[in-house]
Structure 1
Amino acid sequence: MLVLEGIPLFLIEMAIGQKMRLGSLGVWNTIHPWLGGIGISSCVVTLFVALYYNVIITWVFFYLFNSIRLTADQLPWAHCPYDNGTAEAECNKASATVYFWYREALDASPSIDEPGVPRWWIVLYLLLAWIIVFFIVMKGIQSSGKVVYFTSLFPYAVLTIFFVRGITLPGSSDGILHMYKPKLEKLLDPTVWLDAATQVFYSFGLAFGSLIAFGSYNPPNNNCVRDVLLVSVCNALTAIYASVVIFSILGFKAYTMVENCIVKEIKVLALHHIGGFTLNSTADYYREQFPRLNGTAIAALNLTGCTMSRQLEEAAEGTGLAFIVFTQAILKLTPAPFWSIIFFLMLLSLGLGSQIGIMEGMLCTIFDIDFFKRLSKPVITGVVCTFCFFVGLIFTTGAGEYWLKMFDSFAGTIGLVVVALLEMIAVIYIYGHEKFTNDIYEMTGYRPGIYWQVTWRYVGPAIVTCILLSSLVFMLINPPMYGAWNADEGRVIKTPYPTWVLVIAVLMILAGVLPIPVVLLLRRFQCLAFDVDIHQGSIRRIETTVSTKEMMSDQDVLSPESAPPAPAQLVADAATKFTIGDFDNVESSEERPNKRLPAGIARSRPKK
């Protein structure tokens, strides 16, 4: 997925942004006005992702502040709370870390149908998260670029600390070997491929519009091919490095769980006088004798066998990996508060770094629209962050985690895949792969070879199309489900989404993809009297778009004579080209007497 889809699309977004000096909306309008909906869809999907992504940062803040212990050596999720001298029944049925996550942090409701009121502590942390995001991105790349130095480098320092500690722990080698153990049957699951594609999109920031925005900030002659390859290699190596660190810690956690499991099962076997076990039996004796025991007796006593593979298979994913499994492993490290603080500081820096990219892509699209040119970047950023905060209150209820998983499963996957597919089609087949190749050669001096041509024109679109279709079919055959917390049983139970939630999910998917055909049809049949003008300043600055023009000095300003045509004029010129063929030849007005554009769209053509 990385080589055949991720890297080729990465270069498409970076290069087209650098060439046209525009944000996502301006780029697709300039290529052809029928494609203007791609920029809108990208912005809508990015908005959905930004809504719930900051909620994860909110939870990180909650755990980070609860990790700061001035006097106590133990973390608050180390033990079950006591009520009248006895531990909470819900905590006894689950575990201290699971209880802390679902009851103390989320105060989870039994289902998505019963959300309850917003939890005030989560609301405060959500407000803090959006305030921090606002101050980071309010000045555009001028302010966020400085923060990225920290958010990019600090996680490497923490990963290295965990790596040195992790590989010295018992069971770490088992965890690392488990990571590289292939499970070929998983390749037949379409959702695995969808998850893999989505992971590539998130790790690179593809289809969010942020890479196009960042590309527009580059100098016109920047070697974007070198940047793409360098970032791709660093991204892959970082993913491998982080995986080794994580699975070494998970292996240690599984090792401790196996040791505790053996002690418990020895007591059960000794109590029932099975296999000659006594309370003084050793773990080695257990491992030797357990396979020889009667299977019926083992099943009757609900004994598991306490194997490393079983413990590693039960490792959680998603939010549970960070907030349950990893926090449980941290309890075994000394001093636990220190390891917890640096772990959640790392998650915070990673989360903020990703959120900066997401917000920059969305805000650049908004700010490049001429309608908003009278408003400053801080004002627009403040309005967007305030809107996101109030909408995000749904994630602060008892059903907040259920809503987050629903957003992640629907709004943040299908929409991204559709946008990515259409981006490749737009640049390679409409803008033209030869023209795009020449653009890269003019900017970098490098002409993309056979690898780029094959992946751009054939392999990449084919892979994305197959993933999209198979995932949609799989979702229709297998009704989507979510994990609801059952306090009586102390565990998560898979529950089908209610119909009204699925309706909302479908509406979110449609909101993310419908702008594409709507804009196409409106402009094809000349129903769109209002045209989206891209601010002139966005192309009269050599080094940037309008969203960061205040960073530029006077010598960076092009004179009116040397400035390229305005994007609005390019849109008007392209609007008369109604074939998906050669877009360089425009039919004359005599040949198309009935194809005049409305006054709101038409612009005078430059004199030749």
Structure 2
Amino acid sequence: MFGSYNRFQNKVYKDAMFVSSLDFITSLIAGVVIFSVLGNMAEELDLDIRNVAKEGPGLAFIAYPEALSRLEWLPQLWSVLFFFMLFLLGLDSEFALLETFLTAVYDEFPSSRRHKVPITLICCIICYFLGLPCVTQGGQYVLNLMDTYGGGYGVTFIAICELIALMWGYGVNRFCDDLEFMLGTRPGLFWRACWLVISPLVLVFIFVYSFWEHKVIKYGENYEYPVWADGIGWLLALISMCQIPLWGFFILLRNCWNVKKVVTPESSWGPGDSEARIKYFQRRSTGLVMTEKLESQGIDNPALMIESNVK
């Protein structure tokens, strides 16, 4: 989704490597901090480290504040900085998640970009009310249910469908041709093998194994969710997973007399930048390898031009 804001020839793989490297370093530093704090607490309390804190929110809101309170130099200041860091972390995560949804809306309805502020405000208000149950007395149970079912199964299933549709439906060679046209370099054999075979197999294994090992979730050691709550969790998972097969069946049913139309791209498909679009289809029609460097630096998403014109 964020690619909509990039120039057509933006070296997106460099951005991906940079962000992934920062994420790896941050996780490494956080792991060192967490285990050093837990180890010190386990030593002082004379407990096994597994009994000091459990995974999840308890680690951030129980174990860490306890550790910060034991600091000799200004524990109040470190506590304020720690929770302010958590606030910023949640805020920037919310930006990314909300912008992903809003970009899909703007791309589908380009005219809505003229009303970006009120649409964003309405979405934020809706998300605020949807999040209120998580801060009630039973909010931790609701949060645990949403965290377990709302992400894991749905994200894995969607990733499997995307890989199969793109690499086996659209074609890995055609996809590599598009990347070569856009970036000037062609993905190597390793990446093609991962996209075509390795990643789908690994994700399918994880998805099937998760179903096989599934048990009714618990909160803590003793509380087991009732059957109706487990059903609500599966409903949350199915809301995202069923979108792909249901809409696919609907489109196939609507075009049952012309199945070829179902797998034929729309007329608007292709690069959004006008100069890149012309050269792209010229290359495809002649069957040449797309290695020519483009001079155009236009934004790939034509919907963004509406916002530029408004400004």
Relative to the length of structure 2, the TM-score reads 0.81
Whether the aligned pair in 2 keeps the contact of 1:424 and 1:456 (CA below 8 Å) is: yes
- The residue identity in structure 2 corresponding to 1:454 is A
Whole-angstrom CA distance in 1 between matches of 2:26 and 2:253: 49
Match of 1:324 among 45, 56, 62: 62
Conserved? CA contact 1:437–1:447, under 8 Å: yes
Task: Kindly provide the CA deviation profile for residues 505-551 of structure 1, in whole angstroms up to 9, marking residues without a partner as x.
Answer: 121111111111111111112169xxxx9999x94683154675466
Q: Specify which structure has the higher proportion of helix.
A: 2
After superposition, the Cα gap between the structure-2 partners of 1:342 and 1:525, relative to the gap in structure 1 and judged at 3 Å, is same
Task: Provide the rounded CA distance (Å) in 2 between the counterparts of 1:534 and 1:394.
Answer: 44
Give the partner amino acid of 1:440: L
Which structure 2 segments of 5+ residues have no match?
Answer: 257-265, 275-297
Matches of 2:161 and 2:272, distance apart in 1: 25
The 1:501/1:519 distance shift into structure 2, 3 A limit, reads same
Question: Can you give the 5+ residue segments of structure 1 that lack an aligned partner in the other structure?
Answer: 1-212, 259-305, 484-492, 555-608
* 1:250 paired residue among 38, 54, 71: 38
**Pair 450,544 (structure 1): closer, same or farther in 2 beyond 3 Å:** closer
Quote the Cα distance in structure 2 between the aligned partners of 1:387 and 1:535.
32
Deviations 1:70-117 (A, max 9, x none): xxxxxxxxxxxxxxxxxxxxxxxxxxxxxxxxxxxxxxxxxxxxxxxx
Alignment match, 1:42: none
Partner of 1:499: 227
* Aligned residue in 1 for 2:76: 337
Matched, 1:241 2:29: yes
Match of 1:471 in 2: 210
Aligned partners of 2:246 and 2:96: how far apart in 1?
27
Deviations 1:385-441 (A, max 9, x none): 122222222223211111001000001111111111111112211111111111111
Distance 2:50 2:210 in 1: 27
Distance in 2 (CA, whole Å) between partners of 1:463 and 1:448 is: 20
Q: Which one-letter code corresponds to 1:382 in the other structure?
A: L
Number of equivalent positions: 277
Residue matched to 1:454? 193
Amino acid at match of 1:429: W
Deviation at 1:358, TM superposition (A): 0.6
Distance 2:244 2:110 in 1: 20
Measure the CA separation in 2 of the matches of 1:458 and 1:380.
Answer: 40
Q: Would the aligned equivalents of 2:42 and 2:52 in 1 still touch at CA under 8 Å?
A: no
CA contact (8 A) 2:68 2:78 kept: yes
User: Matched residues in 1 for 2:45 and 2:22: separation?
Assistant: 34
Counterparts of residues 362-441 of structure 1 (less than 5 Å): 362-370=101-109, 373=112, 376-441=115-180
Q: Distance in 2 between matches of 1:230 and 1:311?
A: 34
Tell me: CA distance 1:370–1:245, structure 2 relative to 1, closer, same or farther (3 Å).
Answer: same
| 1:443 partnered with 2:182 | yes
- For residues 557-596 of structure 1, what are the structure 2 equivalents within 5 Å? none
Letter in 1 for 2:27: A
* Partner Cα distance (1:342, 1:417) in 2: 35
Superposed counterparts of 1:166-245, under 5 Å: 213-245=1-33
Q: Which amino acid aligns with 1:216?
A: S
Instruction: Write the distance in 2 (CA, Å) between the matches of 1:229 and 1:539.
Output: 25
Superposition CA RMSD, Å: 2.7
| Correspondence for 2:96 | 357
1:311 maps to which residue?
49
Mapping of residues 12-411 of structure 1, within 5 Å: 213-258=1-46, 306=47, 310-312=48-50, 314-333=52-71, 334-370=73-109, 373=112, 376-411=115-150
Q: Which has the larger radius of gyration?
A: 1
- Please give the alpha-carbon distance, in whole angstroms, between the structure 2 residues aligned to 1:515 and 1:384: 21
Supply the AA of the counterpart residue of 1:353: D
CA distance in structure 2 between the aligned counterparts of 1:371 and 1:384, rounded to whole angstroms: 17
Cα distance in structure 2, aligned partners of 1:547 and 1:237: 36
Q: Secondary structure of 2:219's partner?
A: strand
Instruction: Judge conservation of contact 1:251–1:312 (CA < 8 Å) in 2.
Output: no
- SS of the residue corresponding to residue 376 of structure 1 reads helix
Name the amino acid aligned to 2:31.
S
Q: Which amino acid aligns with 1:552?
A: S
**CA-to-aligned-CA distance 1:213-266 (integer Å, 9 cap, x gap):** 1112111111122222222222222211221122222222223223xxxxxxxx
Residue 350 to residue 500, structure 1, CA distance change in 2 (3 Å) = same
CA gap of 1:499–1:247, structure 2 versus 1, over 3 A, is same
Partner in structure 2 of residue 525 of structure 1: 253
Q: Is the 8 A contact 1:479 1:496 kept in 2?
A: yes
Instruction: Please list the CA deviations of residues 39-91 of structure 1 after superposition, one character each: whole Å capped at 9, or x if unmatched.
Output: xxxxxxxxxxxxxxxxxxxxxxxxxxxxxxxxxxxxxxxxxxxxxxxxxxxxx
Give the TM-score normalised by the residue count of structure 1. 0.43
Q: What amino acid sits opposite 1:517 in the alignment?
A: P
CA contact (8 A) 2:156 2:203 kept: yes
* Matching residue's letter, 2:153: I
Helix, strand or coil for the counterpart of 2:213? helix
Shift in alpha-carbon separation, 1:548–1:347, aligned structure 2, 3 A: farther
Q: State yes or no: 1:480 paired with 2:210.
A: no
Q: Distance in 1 between matches of 2:207 and 2:188?
A: 28
1:474 positional shift:
1.0
Distance 1:332 1:219 in 2: 50
Deviation track 1:538-578 (CA, whole Å, cap 9, x = no partner) reads 94683154675466379xxxxxxxxxxxxxxxxxxxxxxxx
Separation in 2, partners of 1:403, 1:365: 28
Distance 1:411 1:522 in 2: 24
1:381 offset after TM fit, Å?
A: 1.2
Check the 8 A contact 1:217/1:543 in 2, yes or no: yes
Q: How far apart, CA to CA, are the structure 2 residues paired with 1:534 and 1:356?
A: 32
Residues 252 and 548 (structure 1), Cα distance of their counterparts in 2 relative to 1, 3 Å cut: farther
Q: Quick one: distance in 1 between partners of 2:128 and 2:88?
A: 20
Q: What is the deviation of 1:312?
A: 4.7
